[in-house]
């Protein structure tokens, strides 16, 4: 069993990564339904929370059915991070997570996300400010370093553990790599094998199949895996990995019926959470992924992303089921 503070997780947990414009409550609900053990919110600006920005506040929405769930914050100011942790604590998540890994320029330019990788002392001060301002367990997600010449994850892991974090997720790329090239998990394994480290170490980067999940579990010895992009439009990956670990066999691929059901639920739950107009609009970005690889699907994809009313989209999903569905794997 893996523990983050007083949060008990399965022996080898699978975590859903915090992804901007993706990891909202409807998406998290789908992933939870299909086997995710721990999920994180989209990252939330500490400055936005303090200013009471509506978009930031909405990201604080969590629901009991998705527990355990963490809320992730980012920022470059100690006072703002401490105050935002208190605001987060008020909605009673299970975990507060700090983002020191986002490589996006608009975040890095504010001295936040992966921008903090250039200044470990600041990273430690920001982390300590959050740990001291909440009774919830604090976790961190970060990268190997700023670039290949400044990989500092060993020092980062020890110092963040020393100021009180309860788990660390490491993405096996530097900021300079963004999402390109291959994630280098050898650095993650070194942190895990450091005798000074006694908190759970989770690996992140490039896990896109049950086979790779098992290979990385065995090769690098981490305490669990965090899955991000591979779950977009494919929430089945969590249960597929668990089944493969248990049996050495692959589950059947999701059928058209499975895919339509996931898309339908995603839209339904988005409308319930965001309202009709925003729910319909913001779910559009997911349809391509749900129906990836299906031949001759272009016409239906176009209909799905242009329907303005919920019923329009549901009708297209019915058409998809009628044309492509015979319980055959897609």
Please list the active-site residues: 102
Question: CA-to-CA distance for 135 and 70, rounded, in angstroms?
Answer: 14
CA triplet 73, 133, 92: central angle to 5 degrees?
Answer: 65
DSSP string for residues in 248-291: SSPPPPPBHHHHHHHHHHHHHHHHHHH-HHHHHHHHHHHHHHHT
How large is the C-alpha radius of gyration of the chain? 20
Residue 204 neighbours by CB distance under 10 Å: 25
CA angle 86, 87, 90 (to 5 degrees): 90
| DSSP conformation letters of 141-198 | EEESBSSGGGB-HHHHHHHHHHTT-SEEEEESS-TTTTT-S---THHHHHHHT-TT--
197 close to 254: Cβ distance less than 8 angstroms:
no
Pair 226, 202: CB distance under 8 Å: yes
The upper half-sphere exposure of residue 144, i.e. CA atoms within 13 Å in the direction of its Cβ, equals 24
| Token reading at 179 | 């999402």
**Which stretch of DSSP H or E encloses residue 111?**
none
Measured distance CA(98)–CA(140) in Å, rounded? 5
β 7-9/2-4 pair status: antiparallel
- Cα–Cα dist 2/113, whole Å: 26
Contact 42, 18 (CB under 8 A): yes
For 329, which DSSP code?
A: B
């Amino acid at each position: 069993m893996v523990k983050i503070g007083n949060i008990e997780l399965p022996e080898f947990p699978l975590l859903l990564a915090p992804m901007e414009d993706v990891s909202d409550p409807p998406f998290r609900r789908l992933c939870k339904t299909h086997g995710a053990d721990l999920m994180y919110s989209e990252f939330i600006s500490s400055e936005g929370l303090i200013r009471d920005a509506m978009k930031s506040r909405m990201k604080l929405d969590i629901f009991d059915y998705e527990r355990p769930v963490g809320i992730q914050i980012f920022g470059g100011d100690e006072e703002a991070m401490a105050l935002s942790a208190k605001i987060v604590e008020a909605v009673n998540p299970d975990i507060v997570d700090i983002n020191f890994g986002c490589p996006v320029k608009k975040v890095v330019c504010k001295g936040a996300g992966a921008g903090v990788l250039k200044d470990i002392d600041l990273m430690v001060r920001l982390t300590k400010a959050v740990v001291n301002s909440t009774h919830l367990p604090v976790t961190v997600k970060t990268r190997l370093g700023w670039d290949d010449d400044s990989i500092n994850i060993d020092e980062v892991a020890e110092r963040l553990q020393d100021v009180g974090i309860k788990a660390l997720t490491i993405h096996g790329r530097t900021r300079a790599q963004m999402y390109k090239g291959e994630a280098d998990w050898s650095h993650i394994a070194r942190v895990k094998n450091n005798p000074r480290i006694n908190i759970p170490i989770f690996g992140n980067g490039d896990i896109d199949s049950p086979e790779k999940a098992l290979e990385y579990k065995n090769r690098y010895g981490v305490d669990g895996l965090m899955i991000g992009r591979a779950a977009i439009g494919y929430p089945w990956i969590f249960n597929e990995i668990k089944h493969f670990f248990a049996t050495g066999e692959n589950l059947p691929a999701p059928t058209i019926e499975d895919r339509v059901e996931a898309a339908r639920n995603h839209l339904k739950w988005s409308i319930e959470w965001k309202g009709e107009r925003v729910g319909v609009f913001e779910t559009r970005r997911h349809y391509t992924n749900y129906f990836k690889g299906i031949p001759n699907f272009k016409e239906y994809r176009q209909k799905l992303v242009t329907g303005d009313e919920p019923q329009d989209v549901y009708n297209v999903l019915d058409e998809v089921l009628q044309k492509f569905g015979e319980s055959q794997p897609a």
